[in-house]
């Protein structure tokens, strides 16, 4: 009995040790097996290297200055837009929720009704949407993040931009045609150059004399006598006896003076 008990005890200890060793062997990583490495992606790295980096110098370059003639046109357009807004507001066509009113809506449709569309939650134009998110809304009850949305393309946005393109393109073409016609009118004036006048040959000396005579034919003609001269002649011709008497008197006086005293 003791032998059977010792044999059973030794057998149980042996089986317990072998089972524990087997369990520890399963939990340990295999030394022979190398850790699996992720497959390299050479193509992705090449694409990253080939992608050009954005040029920072191009973004930092200063914008060209606006020419004075362009600035004058812009200022005149701004003035005209302001006058259109005032006129539409005075006519009761502007019911807006932003300040200043939306320019694009007034220029394209002639009115601004975003106050009603905002309350109805049907959407507003992009200009009104940007104004609300730039703290230019006038209604305190409205929360832009929750209440302000752009109108859907099928609900009016596409029609607005179609009208915008139609109106602006029509006016742009008219301006281009007017500029082209003015350039055509100015082109011949600039191109026409007067031909150089050829120097006239100087006439010879004899020819100069003849030309002077021809130019002044009145010099050779006798001058007409005036009335006073004609009257003097008549008086002298009408009184010849008086002149002769005066001459005889002078002679007698001279003989008297020559006579011996």
For residue 64, the model assigns a pLDDT of 92
C-alpha 165/C-alpha 261 separation (Å) is 136
- Alpha helices for 28-67 (secondary structure H): 42-50, 56-60
**Cβ–Cβ under 8 Å, residues 79 and 85:** no
> How buried is 114 (Cβ within 10 angstroms: 0-12 exposed, 13-18 middle, 19+ buried)?
buried
**Cβ–Cβ under 8 Å, residues 114 and 125:** yes
* pLDDT over threshold 80, residue 101: yes
Percent of the chain with pLDDT over 90: 43
Q: What is the pLDDT of residues 37-87, one digit of tens each?
A: 555 555 555 555 566 666 655 567 888 999 999 999 999 999 999 999 999
At residue 250 the predicted structure's pLDDT band, cuts being 50, 70 and 90, is low
Cis peptide bond upstream of 100, omega within 30: yes
For residue 254, the model assigns a pLDDT of 47
More confident residue, 97 or 252: 97
The closest of 228, 109, 88, 227 to 162, measured between CA atoms, is 109
More confident residue, 199 or 24: 199
Q: What is the pLDDT of residues 105-152, one digit of tens each?
A: 999 999 999 999 999 999 999 999 999 999 999 988 899 999 999 999
C-alpha 134/C-alpha 118 separation (Å) is 16
| Average pLDDT of the residues in 6-35 | 56
Lowest mean pLDDT among 20-29, 110-119, 200-209: 20-29
* pLDDT over threshold 70, residue 242: no
pTM over 0.85: no
**Cβ–Cβ under 8 Å, residues 123 and 149:** yes
Q: 18-32, 126-140, 233-247 — which one is most confidently predicted on average?
A: 126-140
At residue 261 the predicted structure's pLDDT band, cuts being 50, 70 and 90, is very low
| Average pLDDT of the residues in 101-107 | 96
Rounded to a whole number, what is the distance in angstroms from the first to the last CA of the chain? 235
More confident residue, 91 or 203: 91
């Amino acid at each position: 009995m003791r032998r059977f008990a010792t044999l059973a005890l030794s057998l149980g200890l042996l089986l317990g040790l072998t089972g524990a060793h087997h369990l520890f062997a399963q939990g340990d990583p295999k030394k022979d097996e190398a850790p699996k490495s992720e497959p390299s992606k050479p193509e992705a790295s090449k694409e990253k290297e080939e992608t050009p980096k954005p040029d920072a110098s191009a973004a930092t370059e200063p914008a060209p200055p606006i020419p004075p003639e362009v600035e004058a046109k812009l200022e005149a357009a701004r003035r005209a837009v302001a006058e259109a807004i005032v006129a539409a507001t005075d006519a009761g066509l502007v019911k807006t929720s932003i300040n200043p009113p939306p320019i694009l809506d007034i220029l394209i449709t002639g009115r601004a009704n975003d106050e009603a569309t905002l309350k109805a939650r049907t959407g507003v134009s992009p200009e009104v949407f940007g104004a609300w998110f730039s703290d230019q809304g006038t209604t305190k009850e409205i929360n832009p993040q929750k209440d302000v949305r752009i109108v859907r393309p099928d609900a009016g946005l596409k029609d607005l931009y179609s009208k915008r393109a139609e109106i602006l393109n029509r006016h742009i073409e008219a301006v281009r045609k007017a500029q082209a016609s003015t350039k055509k009118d100015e082109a011949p004036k600039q191109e026409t150059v007067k031909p150089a006048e050829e120097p006239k040959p100087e006439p010879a000396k004899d020819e100069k004399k003849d030309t002077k005579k021809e130019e002044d034919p009145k010099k050779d003609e006798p001058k007409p006598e005036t009335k006073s001269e004609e009257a003097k002649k008549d008086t002298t011709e009408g009184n010849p006896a008086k002149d002769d008497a005066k001459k005889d008197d002078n002679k007698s006086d001279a003989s008297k003076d020559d006579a011996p005293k």
